[in-house]
Amino acid sequence: MPTVFITGARAGLGLEFAHQYAEAGWRVIAPGRQECDVIDMASIGTFISTLGEAPIDLLINNAGVRNAHPSGSKLGEFTLEGWLPSLTVNVVGPALVTQALLPNLMRGDMKRVVTLSSRLGSIAGGGGSNSGGGGSSYYAYRASKAALNQVNNCLSIDLGPRGFTCVVVNPGWVQTRMGGANATMSPADSIAQMRRLIDGLKPDDNGKFIDANGAIIPW
């Protein structure tokens, strides 16, 4: 029975990931923020200590925030408080969780780290259909996802020689609280598509920025 660890799994895509992997017979470890706050090293350490030496095959860094504070979205309205949630949760959180889980991931058979990013983090691509125009909105969120992509790049370089495949994946525009009601995909369809992608990952995919349908996204 393979084991998956999913952050931010109490709602949205994380919850759907948990449901689908459980239905497929996986052992699912899916803490919420109360159990494992991804920007609190003590919280992360306390929760992971309960796992002991249990192997983890797949880590899904799903926890993230978008437009957590309106003053991180538009030029002329910036505040430090508006930027910090996106930078800490979306960038630092996945780095801390991956680091803390590394001993367990080393014991797993699959050795895969999948981190949810966004087309809004693509500088070359300019965002997506809900981007608000080329760089005109969601400053903090865009910047955090571009930085997250760099974190994955570094992880892929460090962990690739140890047998890991580390990728960042755009889940698509999904009907969640973050994506909104006008989004084009249901959570069930998005997760089913990403699960097929994850199942098919190969060592030479290490370090890539991939759409849920398998297409490479420009940096």
Tell me: the pLDDT tens digits for 94-151? 999 999 999 999 999 999 999 999 988 999 886 554 454 454 578 888 999 999 999 9
On whether residue 31 sits in a domain, the answer given is: yes
Residue 102 sits in a domain of what CATH number? 3.40.50.720
Q: How many domains does the chain have?
A: 1
On whether residue 30 sits in a domain, the answer given is: yes
On whether residue 111 sits in a domain, the answer given is: yes
On whether residue 100 sits in a domain, the answer given is: yes
> In the prediction, which pLDDT does 67 show?
65
> In the prediction, which pLDDT does 11 show?
83
Show the low-confidence residues of the chain (pLDDT under 50): 129-130, 132-133, 135
Cα 39 to Cα 14, 64, 68, 75, 195: the distances in Å are: 17, 11, 15, 26, 26
Alpha helices (H) in the chain, listed in sequence order: 12-23, 41-49, 80-87, 93-107, 139-159, 187-199
Residue pair 40/33 in contact (Cβ under 8 Å)? The answer is no
> In the prediction, which pLDDT does 65 show?
87
- Please state the pTM of the whole predicted model: 0.91
On whether residue 205 sits in a domain, the answer given is: yes
On whether residue 216 sits in a domain, the answer given is: no
What is the span of the domain harbouring residue 54? Answer: 3-211
